[in-house]
Structure 1
Amino acid sequence: MIRRYVVLSKVTFYMATSDFALKNHNVKAFGQDAALVIEMNNEDVSSSKPSPFSNEIDNYYLTLHVAPRNAKKDYDWGSNRSVLLKLSTNEVMQMASVFLRIMHTLKIDKRKTSHHGHVVYKNISVTPNERGGLLLSAGIVPVDKDGLKPFMHMGPVSQMDCVKIGLYILGYLAQKTPWVSSESIITALRLSEAKNSK
């Protein structure tokens, strides 16, 4: 087991690389109308030829899953009314920026992908909430009018949930780039946002 320490705002967190492979590694936020889960997944590459330029950590990725609340006061994670999106590396960094309040807004527009056998555009946005925290919206628009109707879910994310989600994604990025400290990642995200805002 390889051990290292990550220093963030004068607080030291112990992490071990074996922890990265734990199942059901996710962070959640629940609202009255919808719930959000960001989860770490492991891509199955057992049939692929090993590469000297990649390692086990490279096979991990994050998904964003938003589900509406139903009449039973539960969340429809498996229904075609939920939105599941595999995040790219750039989108993960943008998610970290917006939930750590480095970046004000995030928009993923018209991501063409599949949804329960249909070809759709998936849209995600995270914007400031006047009542505090952030406002998340997630929905789909079908490419073809084949019976699936467009929908959008919206829900507030409290300030403490924003911190929890932001730290979770930051920890993921720190594990994906073990040669870079969490402080350096935050600095890079701030510099990138400062450059974009000019």
Structure 2
Amino acid sequence: MIRLPSADALLGRVSPLWRGLAAIVLLCALILAMVESRAGILRSGTEIRLATAPVDPRDLFRGDYVILNYRISTLEPARLDGDKSFERNQTVFVRVAPGADGLAEAKGVYLARPPASAGGAVLEGKVVSTAACAVNANGDQDCNAGRGAIRVAYGLESYFVPEGTGRAIETTERKRLEIVAAVSSSGQAAIKRLLIDGKLVHQEPPY
């Protein structure tokens, strides 16, 4: 019977130099794939406008950044189309459409991806809380209105900005700040532009 050499034996015949080069090539390929995936979203994704409020502006190890909290981050399933019961860490799909002010409003939240409405998009997110305070008419959380809301993260909550501008953005009134995001057909989203008073402050390069 012919015995084939094991994978370990074959690997042992490859010099450490070639193994190191192969590892570097594989790592570079993975990085390029991630960069191209994000670039594809920015290049061809559906644009949506998001109202948001920034929070913590500084990471000393990585430069300026803002933590963003969106109007669509807190959802009340009872008032929306779709499913009504959710668990923490579940993947959900949030259907949004432009409101009267042109900013994205949540229309439904689902466990399975629904079709997007005309002029809208569907974002994939993850449930981070199932007992959040409801949101009042001003867009602020109001625990007196109950804790029947869920909190959803979309991967858009951290945004790095040019060094020295984080504090200025962090102290900007929420109603003046707007994010334009691109959403792929699969629901993945990426921040494309940041505006204050409708004027461009920072635009994300495609690469």
TM-score under structure 2 length normalisation: 0.22
- TM-score (norm. length: structure 1): 0.22
Q: Which has the larger radius of gyration?
A: 2
Return the structure number with greater relative CO, CA threshold 8 A, min gap 6. 2
